[in-house]
Amino acid sequence: MRKILLTSAGFATSNITEAFLDLVDRSPNELTAVIMTTAAVQLKSHARPSLKAKQALDSMGFRKVEFIDIEFEDADKLNKYDVICLSGGNPFHLLHHLRRSGADQIIESLSKNGVVLVGISAGTVVLGPDIRIVDYFTPHLNHVGMHDLTALRLHEPITFPHYGRHDKFPHDETIEARIQQFESTHQCEILRITDHEALYINGETMTKISHD
């Protein structure tokens, strides 16, 4: 059964942390978690989203919290964790290495078996149906020359993280205007989440977690 938490900035609020612990549904001191740093093309485990995620998971009392970079490490290592956190950075780079390493199939199988998945920014987008919205907003990030924008398809619809962060997406038009244009062109729905919101998915139930 799917247990997924989609975020822009990880465990940014108490509500998001509580929703995550509800998904885990066991005492954290019995569990292990891994943070995938692959999307952070250069900083890797020292990237701020990954460090913040580890600090948060450590403070929750997880028995073990480790990092993994599937660009260089064996993706089979993912099988030994109860929680997999896909951290932020470049979605094209992350998706490329998820496919190349076979981690995409491993994560899909683990999700069916109840392993909890957490997306942070880029991690949130690649867990969805595709990354067309990334190509629309930030095509310059596609340094891997990706043409097939299909993602892991573990949830629907496409989620747009960092909604309202105009500093991340500078443009003459507003983020909302551009998303509406994308929705109209592609005849689809985009779920918007700010840095203080998340989407909680438990089985077939999806709930938006808002800031206090």
Fold of the CATH domain 3-209: Rossmann fold (3.40.50)
Half-sphere exposure of 32 (CA within 13 A, CB side): 10
The predicted pLDDT at position 125 comes to 98
**pLDDT band for position 178 (cuts 50, 70, 90):** very high
Q: What is the DSSP letter of 150?
A: B
Among candidate residues 33, 123, 22, the one with its CA nearest the CA of residue 83: 33
**3-state secondary structure (DSSP) of residue 129:** coil
**pLDDT band for position 185 (cuts 50, 70, 90):** very high
In this structure, are strands 83-86 and 158-160 parallel, antiparallel, or unpaired? unpaired
Q: What is the overall mean pLDDT for the chain?
A: 95
CB 209 within 8 A of CB 198: yes
Among candidate residues 4, 65, 5, the one with its CA nearest the CA of residue 36: 65
Residue 209 has pLDDT above 60, yes or no: yes
Residue 115 has pLDDT above 80, yes or no: yes
Question: pLDDT digits over 58-72, tens only?
Answer: 999 999 999 999 999
DSSP element (H, E) containing 84? strand 83-86
Residue 40 has pLDDT above 80, yes or no: yes
CB 21 within 8 A of CB 28: yes
Mean local confidence (pLDDT), 5-29: 96
**pLDDT band for position 212 (cuts 50, 70, 90):** low
The predicted pLDDT at position 43 comes to 60
What is the number of helices (H) and of strands (E) in the chain?
7, 9
Lowest mean pLDDT among 33-47, 65-79, 128-142: 33-47
pTM assigned to the model: 0.95
Cα 28 to Cα 62: distance, rounded to the nearest angstrom:
4
CB 123 within 8 A of CB 85: yes
Cα 138 to Cα 132: distance, rounded to the nearest angstrom:
10
